[in-house]
Chain A
Amino acid sequence: GQQLNQSPQSMFIQEGEDVSMNCTSSSIFNTWLWYKQDPGEGPVLLIALYKAGELTSNGRLTAQFGITRKDSFLNISASIPSDVGIYFCAGQVDNFNKFYFGSGTKLNVKP
């Protein structure tokens, strides 16, 4: 199967700091999705990316579809305590096919 490497595995930051995390794959992807998951809940979609080089924002979140189509980045600006959770990237090789997920980045925010 496809390998998705997500880093860092975990982060401890102070409220107000900016955060950056990324995913790299061994294959070219056509779609990248970023999700946030709270304990005991399903992942919630944050941002969807469909074209190489695409930069998309959702409030304080910004994600980019890498030019090589093998990576993606998620940035969170001015973090707040409710940003705490696990962030997952997901990539799709062909349209209308399954998604492969990274192993997640656990974000902790100190008030």
Chain B
Amino acid sequence: DTGVSQDPRHKITKRGQNVTFRCDPISEHNRLYWYRQTLGQGPEFLTYFQNEAQLEKSRLLSDRFSAERPKGSFSTLEIQRTEQGDSAMYLCASSLSGGQGADTQYFGPGTRLTVL
């Protein structure tokens, strides 16, 4: 399977705990995006990387959130001191920049986070 993969698919945690999610993009894609989706809404942009550089962060990304893409391949999203309001689906997408048709984003299956 050469699509975007995410791990874990589901995570249940207690308030105050830290969680980390992983995303593996399509192998030749240099851009990687993180989105958050709550029930009944479309995905909301959190941050994106081109190769290993984090180029933009949303205001939604509080200080408790940090994302990395150390070697320009997989990425991790960490949430520290989780709150109930962090409960959502966290989606990763990847794309290949350059030329028309570039930056068409392909999504992974998501990680469903539930904070108790």
Contact = CB atoms under 8 A, between A and B. Distances in A.
Contacts of A42: 4, 6, 91, 93, 107-110
A96 B97 contact: yes
A95 B42 contact: no
B107 A104 contact: no
A35 B104 contact: no
Contacts, number: 65
Contact of A43 (B43, B97, B102): B43
Contact of A101 (B44, B50, B104, B110): B44
A103 B41 contact: yes
A92 B93 CA distance: 14
Given A99-B45, A101-B42, A102-B42, A40 B102 contact: no
Contacts of B74: none
Which one of A42, A90, A92 has the greatest number of beta carbons of chain B within 10 Å?
Answer: A42
B65 interface: no
A24 interface: no
Q: Kindly state the interface size class of chain A when it binds its partner.
A: 20 to 34
16 contacts: A31-B104, A33-B104, A42-B107, A45-B106, A48-B101, A90-B43, A92-B103, A96-B50, A96-B97, A96-B103, A98-B56, A98-B58, A99-B45, A99-B105, A101-B44, A103-B42
Interface of B: 4, 6, 31, 33, 35, 40-45, 48, 50, 56, 58, 91, 93, 97, 100-110, 112
Interface of A: 4, 6, 31, 33, 35, 40-45, 48, 50, 88, 90, 92, 95-104
Closest 6 CB pairs of A and B: A101-B42, A42-B107, A98-B45, A42-B110, A42-B109, A43-B107
